[in-house]
Every structure is written in C-alpha cells, then in structure tokens.
Amino acid sequence: MKKTLFFFAVLICCRLLSQEFWYSYSFQDKHVGYTKVVYQWQEQEKSYIKKQEKYRRLDGEEKEEISCVLSLDYSVLSGYISSQTEKGQEIFVITASDKILIQNKNRLISVPGEKIYLEISDFLKGIAARSKLEYGRIYKGLVLSGDRMGACDARARYLGKEVLWANLEKQECHTFDVTTSELKNFWAKAQMDANGNLIGYSLGSFQVLRVPKEYALEVRQNFPEIPAPFIFDIEQIDRMYIRHSDFPFPIPSGPNQRNKEGQTILRSPDEQETQAFSPQTKESIQPGIHLPSDSEFLLEYAKNIQGNSRENRDIAQKIALWVQENLEKKKTPQGNKLAFFLGFSRNLPAIAHVSLSRACKIPSRLVSGVMYTPGKWIYATWAEVFLGKWMPLYSGGIARGAYFIAIVENKAWGIEDKLVPFSFTLHKLVKKGETLLLDNASSYLSIQEDKVTDKLLGITFLRPADWVLLPKNTQSDMLLLRSIKGNGPAILIKVFELPRSLEEILDTLSKKMGTQENLELLWQQSRPFPKGKAIEVALKSQQQLVYRAFLGEQGKKGIAALLIVPAKELLLIEKGFQDCIFSLNFY
C-alpha cells in the first residue's frame, strides 16, 4: 500500500514539474502550423528546461526545434535552435550571462540588454509570474527576433482579469495587449491562464490558440484531392456507382452505401427507410471527446439557435444554417467565440454541428470519409443527425444527394490511419430519376435540333445558327462553341458554384474564364434570368479582341457565357450570341 501511494505521489509530482502544451496557428481561418511546448522544472538548478517543436506551412514548409534553459522569470540563460526550411538547415546558439550572445555558422553578435526572452509567450509568462500585476501598467523587455539573429523591443499592457471560455473549458485569465518592434507597434490581444500559461493571442487574421493535441496535428494531414467529372446540382443525385479494384481499406456498408461486385453504390439519404431508435443512437446524445454538449456555454448557444422550434428537423436545419452563417461563410463575433471555445479544429463546422445538436438532444455523430464536390472528391469530416434516418448536415442545411462515402463513423479523435490516398472511377449515376453513363456522351449530352442539354452541368440553351458544339470533356466545367463565320469566334459556357456576388466575380472575370489578359470594362447592363438575376458586360483587350460576357445566378449556382471575337467581326455573330444567352437556363 505504501509503495502504491509513493508511486502516485511521484507521478503527481512529475506532472507538476513538467507541463506540455499544444498550440495551433491559423492565418485567414486556415490552419497553417502548430507548436508543442514542454516546460520542465529543475529543482537543483532552480531553472526551467524548455523544449519546443514548431511546424509551419505558409510560404513553404518550416520546422524548428528548440532546447533552452530558462531562468525563474522565463528569460533565456542558454539555448539551441535548429531551423529547417526549403533553403536548408540553420543552427543558432544563445547564451546570456554578462552579455547576450547569439551565434550561427556565419557570425556572432552581441545584443545590448540584461535579459532576453525566446518568444512573446515567455515574455508574458515572466510578467504573469510576478506576485502582483498592475492594471494599465506597461511592461517592457527584449524578445528574440523572427530571424533568430537579433532582438526586438517588446511591450505588454496589463488589462486585468476576465472569464474566458476557451479550449473546451471555462478559465479565469489575465489579459494583455502586447506588441514588438517587429510588429510595427500593432497590438495583439493575449490571454494567460491563472497559472501564467499562454491560452492564445491574435493579431488581425493571425491567431495562436492552445488546443488539444489532435487538433494541432491536423495540419500534418495533407490528403490530395481526387479528380472527378464535373457534375452540378449534386443534391439531385439519387445514386452514384463507383468502380474500384483494390481499396487500401474496406469501405463499410451502411444505409447510404453498399458494396456489390467490385463497386460501391451510394444512395441519397432520402432513399433510406425509417430506422428504429437504437441504444447506439441514444449514445449519440451524450457528450463525447471534444464534444462538450453539456457545457453551460454551449447550452446557451443551442437555446438561442433553437428558439421556439420543437421539431428535431427544424432545429437541425437552424443549427446547420447558423453554422454556415457564423463559422463557414465568415466568422462573426458570435461564431468566433464558439470557435475559441471548441478549439479551431480544421473540422470546426462538423464539431459545432454535433455539439449543438446533442445540446438540443438530437442524436448526432461525426463521420470521416470522402465527399464529392463538382470536379473532385475531397477528404472531409462531416456531421450526421438522426431524424428517423441518418442525414448529413452540410452547407447550411440537411444535405440530400448521394455524394458522401463514409469510411469512419462515430469518429474518435486522432489522426485516422484509414484515411490514406486512393483512387476510383465514377462510371454511372442516377440524377433526377434518370440514369447517366459517364463513358457515353449521348447519355448525358443531348442535341435536339438546336436545343442543347447537358445533364451533368445541369444547363440547357439554344445553339446559334452557324455555330458548332465541340466534343464534351466530362473533366471540364465548360462547353465550347465555334462559329463557321469569320476567323473562328468562340463562345465559352461555364458553370460554377457561387460563393460570391456577380459584381465580385466581374472583378476576376478573366481568371474565371481561364484567360489571364487584363480587360477593359466598356459597359454593363442587367439582364433577365429565370428565378435569378444576370448581368451582361462588354470588355476589350489590348489585342483588339472583344469580349461579351453574360453572368447569371440562381441560388448557389452560377453560369457564364463568354464571346471572344476580333473587334472587326463582332457584327457578324453578335445576334447569335444574344440568342444563346437569352435561352440559357438551368436544367
């Protein structure tokens, strides 16, 4: 018994003497890196050993390993830094006794000052370690520069204590404004917990936040996109037939997918039969790992989103719309607070969907796998809610359509070994009740007299007289017509998802249509478009080419038609272009 008590006492003591933290870096809402930090107290030397691993992927890949000895106020006594970039490896050595010396293989410099901190976080830890903090006081110090071969002045203004919901828990923290000469006196907002450990800081669109280890390491998961045919209106796809010969892992069969004779058949959730409320389903109401659905903070969010709704379907729809409006399209102040609490995972929308749904007592789960978007398959994690059958929550609503391949259901946190790159072929689908064979163009592209219908792109239009439709490529989101008049005028018709307004798209029209010329806008006019709106514009290039462009939108889908013609031939074919754009419609 005494040995057991001694073992636990040693274990607790070791935890107190050694602390490990993981931080995630995000820039413009993209996960770009992480840092692992370990502080270990050395009782005999009355100092700290700090070991740090940093990984960043912004303008190239960068790795950094640090081993330092820190004093009681967390300033550097000595340190070793190894930095690896695409340019090669650099080694830095720092010593601070009578004077501060920094050395790499090329030079040795002396930094004026009594002490230097490795980073802003250590500078703030040194301030927080003081017995008394004074509100409004500005603290000053030196911090190692970003290139590791110099020092920059640092200042921190203490703003007092506040209660913060961060990293899945409620924390009392010290708040600072902090800046350095390298930041050109732009002030970052930083929070330290009651023990003086960094919670996070933000400056503009750059943010550092303490997160669970699993979230930090997500940046290492770099799954490639899988090219696929361009198909739009995917919510109207009833079934997909995917052919594969040797998957690196078994794809599970379930209500929305089944394996048969060397292929996987995906079904729209609408085709499922209603299922019983099983014990496994009941578990999907409980809080889970990194899913704090019983938190008072999250419960308040769920209550406000639910409002007066009582039906689970209505509540789930409200949750999906709220997540899209506050976490996906942009991060609103309310969305940012929830993200700060949940931890800024790369899968934040799915985590928010499940956490909020469970807080409203709606069974929900996380699913990882592969998801189809026009032109590609992407690796993703999404949420599913149980509404008599499992339905995905995605893109602001209850998703319909057969375009999810579930590989791991009831996802547990950690890097998924099962999610490894693989390839397959989509060879058949059922859309709006009609079977389309992707290796047979006549199955999805029809021309009846002058009426053209593309069932993959979901558009229909009248082909102008004296124009020829060139062969269709399923890997493209465009159709191309050529005139038999003049020197080869062309009309490009392109379909795309619409994340922005038509006016914003006009600013990048040349890029959208696949040309890099600088175009001069001559005029712009509104045009009628079924169940939507449209704009027609005239543009001119420096090469005396005239561009007449039509942009239409309907819901989340956009269409563009671009006429490219030498200026002297415009009158020959302008009427044909007008007939074409006025007949354009979504199928």
How confident is residue 11, by pLDDT bands cut at 50, 70 and 90? very low
pLDDT, one tens digit per residue, over 342-389 is 988 888 999 999 999 999 999 999 998 889 999 999 988 999 999 988
**Percent of the chain residues topping a pLDDT of 90:** 51
List C-alpha distances in Å: 130 to 36, 72, 101: 25, 10, 26
pLDDT, one tens digit per residue, over 305-328 is 999 999 999 999 999 999 999 998
d(CA 201, CA 216): 16
SS3 28: coil
252 DSSP 8-state letter: P
Question: For the structural domain made of 459-586, what CATH number should be given?
Answer: 3.40.1000.10
Tokens, residue 574: 């302008």
Average the pLDDT over 62-91 and give the result: 93
Tell me the residue type at 573: I
Mean confidence (pLDDT) of the chain: 86
Choose between 529 and 185: higher pLDDT.
529
How confident is residue 539, by pLDDT bands cut at 50, 70 and 90? confident
Tell me the residue type at 69: V
Asked if the model's pLDDT at residue 418 lies above 60, the reply is: no
pTM of the model: 0.86
CATH topology of domain 229-435: C8orf32 fold (3.10.620)
How confident is residue 501, by pLDDT bands cut at 50, 70 and 90? low
Cβ atoms of 413 and 289 within 8 Å: the answer is: yes
List C-alpha distances in Å: 146 to 165, 182, 202, 399: 30, 8, 17, 45
List C-alpha distances in Å: 408 to 216, 252, 321, 419: 20, 8, 25, 9
Cβ atoms of 208 and 32 within 8 Å: the answer is: no
Asked if the model's pLDDT at residue 244 lies above 80, the reply is: no
According to the model, what pLDDT value does residue 422 have? 67
Average the pLDDT over 148-163 and give the result: 93
d(CA 436, CA 181): 62
Asked if the model's pLDDT at residue 5 lies above 60, the reply is: no
Asked if the model's pLDDT at residue 10 lies above 50, the reply is: no
d(CA 1, CA 571): 98
How confident is residue 514, by pLDDT bands cut at 50, 70 and 90? very low
